Amino acid sequence: MSAPKWMVQLLLVIFIALLSSSLVASHTIHNESPHRKLASPADSGYISIDCGINEAYTDNESNIWYQPDSNFIETGQNHILPSQYTFDQHHISKQLNTLRSFPDGDRNCYTLITPKQGRSNKYLIRAFFAYRNYDLKNTTPAFDVYLGVNHWKTIEFEDVLSYFLIDVVYVAVTDTISVCLVNIGKGVPFISSLELWFLSDSTYSISSLLPQDVMTRSNLGMSQDTVFIRYKDDTYGRLWFNRFIGNSKTINTSSAIDANGIQNTYKLPSQVLKTAIQSLSLNSSLEIYFDKNTDKSYEYYVYLYFFEFEEQARTQKRIMDITFNDVTILTQLFTPQYMKVVTIVRNITKVDQLRILIKSTPESDLPAMINAFEVYRVLHQPNSPTYQEDVDAIWSIKRVYEIPRINWQGDPCIPTNFTWEGLTCSSDSNPRIISLNLSARRLTGEIDASFSGLTKLESLDLSNNKLTGKIPEFFSELPSLKFLNLSGNQLTGSIPKSLKQKLNTTLLLSLEGNPGLCLTGSCEKKKSLVPIIASIAASIVVLVTIVVIYVMVRRIKRKKQGVSKKDGQKKSKNQVFSYSQVTRITSNFKTVIGKGGFGEVYLGTLRDGREVAVKLLSQTSNQGYKEFHSEADLLTIVHHRNLVSLVGYCDEGDVKALIYEYMTKGNLQQLLSDKSPNVLKWSERLQIAVDAAHGLDYLHNGCKPPIVHRDLKTANILLNGNMQAKISDFGLSRAFANENDTHVSTVPAGTLGYLDPEFYSSGNLNKKSDVYSFGIILLELITGQPAIKAASPGSVTHILQWVNPKLGNGDIKSIVDPRLKAQYNTSSAWKLLEIAMSCIPPTAIQRPDMSRVVNELKDCLALEISIERTESSRRKSSNSLDMSSLNSFQIESVIRGPYAR
């Protein structure tokens, strides 16, 4: 019996009205006043800050957009250089003519948010300092600059008019990057300009993940009338310095060179490529000496850049040998190829000077040459940052309550002499906040949920503020909390039951001075009976409304699907099969289509003709009853187009079977194998990557609680007849209570080659472990190589050991599966490789979330599709032009033939 139409409509109106009022009330309660937020990165690929200005502008010399620093720091004073001291270097004069000084506080920090999507975690960070007597004291200061929690450089000036430039390649391990100016008692710190440039993963390879500080960046073919120059087409806004090399001459080309149109891993600007130096003769050498600030305790990286542009190199060979401190660095002699950029990267250690010798060999037709070079010093990193979740929580608390403390800048715990006031931190390798005192700090509003993020908190003092509202339940969920002081506020309501249970056992709680707080008994009073009844009545109306709507929706769905109650065929749950049904479906287990740790997989056919895959648990299986039920339970509640669907299961005595949809194309491991007769196209590989990423993102971020697969590999990615990829095999999966939970195990849950390297040291498995496994899968899609490959009897090679040396050479063609026969676009190949490498840093904190990976892969696929369409359009246009030319030729031939008059 259905409800009358008018009644349903009335109930719907009431329900919508109640829902709207509830949402308005919720908004009224939770709507916070706007707070200053950290500035996010520009879409242009960089953040450039001109310190001391008030309005943003685009620099005419460099085309770089500069913004004020007020969005990145809360302290300091702006200054303009006196007119007699203004800077006259046209490449950076505007940025150096203003600055910000920091007369107050020991540490003042610029905070830059790293991008969440679309970028790697590698950056080029650059800072300028020009004193130029801005304070009219004629006394240059000295101060320290910290990058994150570690010392970067001590700034000291030779004289009043000198300037200072520091430049570093940095891999971010946290969500923000701090550049801090530290007062060392030798004058007021200041800064003129600060820049951050996003680097691709293939640029400036850093095997140790430690920062590389620029010692020199020299364009060897520059004219001698300038000290340095910044080229407009330099993707990373670098400054290239002039360097004179004896026994050499400058060579250049007038030909136009498109730096973006050639394979140019390090994004060298066209002017660097168009000029070079050459030895004076075949018998002479190019000698480059570098001994500035070298120290045997540091490791150094040297980047040598070669671009052969001389026409005579088309027919003559230039063969060279290169030595560092008289030791050859090449396994074979080097011949640059015409109009191709070659970068030679080497690291050196335990040297107090560097002598680079480039010479032509007796077989060479042309003298030695080089375009440019860079030297970087690897910085020591003795300190590790505070645990990221604690950092996020304390910064959120700072923003919500607008805490103005000048020393609440940078990392909250490290270095220890700059720990934020009111905080106590643990001495862990990644420190944790264990005590927080915000007593008498004029805090207003409700107790924010950000405090729940400080999961190692032992003591919290929020006394003598103006906090309102109820005591949150989450305090009882902080496992280490021993002391909580909420006295002297304006809190109301009763003490949460869960908190009461911890009183006088594990928790000391102070609540006096809160007049509206019920310390004993019940806070319910008779006068509240009417609103309670009204609330109950409203709840009943809402409940009835929901039930009516549910019934109506179910009927509509059944009507659309053509299924009535009597049919009994369409079930909301997975079907339970008997052993005899399983036997009949599989024709007595006739056809084996696969085998895994669970057991053999058989092809089956249901009564309605659908083909299914029947996975039968073997009595000798490595996986057992627990994994069987884990997979059955999991696939009963999770449904996604990129997860293999469970049709039903059989659990009858010793017989246990899982019945899935049949994936006709098999698994990705088989399709990528060199034994496969068909080679996956590049576009197919990209689509498979996107499909699998969607499935994994659903498990991580679409399921509550999140689900970690724990055994992701190419063998567990199946494809249907439409080449749609779906993730399978959930026997080892775990659901976690929240997104930050970690499962600790002493037994590896995954497969060799795909297992998170962090597991071996910590035993931790979490969402980022799946991200690592997915990165390995992407490398397999790119290279066609397996995750683990036999190298020699008794030894194996991991795919990363195979990829990394080739990545250092910047040759994408040597990395991509040769079976593709170059039928792919190098831009999308580099993009996919960057995504893969971002997933596989050795520590989980450096890996992206799967939602970011999905967006990156979608961009990569869109890039490939766009390029394919452009090429297709170009080919059609070309064919059309060819036909027009042919027709014109034929017509002209007829007109001018032997019968023409």
Residues belonging to the binding site for ATP are: 615
Residue 316: closest CA among 364, 255, 276, 248 = 364
Residue 131 CA to its chain's centroid (Å): 37
Give the closest residue to 642 by CA, choosing from 558, 698, 593, 707. Answer: 698
Angle at 141 (CA atoms; ends 139, 147), nearest 5 degrees = 165
Question: Quick one: which of 235, 238, 236, 218 has its CA closest to 227?
Answer: 218
Q: What sign has the CA pseudo-torsion 444, 447, 449, 455? A: positive
Burial letters for 261-282: b for 16+ Cβ neighbours within 10 Å, e otherwise? eeebbbbbbbbbbbbbbbbeee
Strand partners, 165: 128
State the number of CA atoms in the 13 A half-sphere of 273 facing the CB. Answer: 28
Of 552, 563, 829, residue with least CA distance to 689: 829
Residue 14 has which token pair? 């009431």
CA–CA gap between residue 373 and residue 287 (Å, rounded):
13
- From the list 390, 691, 697, 711, the catalytic residue is 711
For every residue of 320-345, DSSP letters joined together read EEEEETTEE--SS-B-PPBT-EEEEE
Q: Where are the alpha helices (DSSP H) in 598-705?
A: 625-637, 668-672, 682-697
Cα 687-692-693 angle, rounded to 5 deg: 95
Per the listing, tokens 């993102």 go with 697
Structure tokens at 183: 């007062």
Token look-up 């060897």 returns 220
Q: Return d(Cα 130, Cα 190) in angstroms, integer.
A: 9
Chain-centroid distance of CA 482 in Å reads 36
Q: State the Cα–Cα distance between residues 395 and 109, nearest whole angstrom.
A: 14
Catalytic residue flag (residue 711): yes
Other Cβ atoms closer than 10 A to 606:
16
Nearest to 613 by CA among 667, 689, 559: 667
- Strand, helix or coil at 125? strand
Q: Which residues are identified as catalytic? A: 711
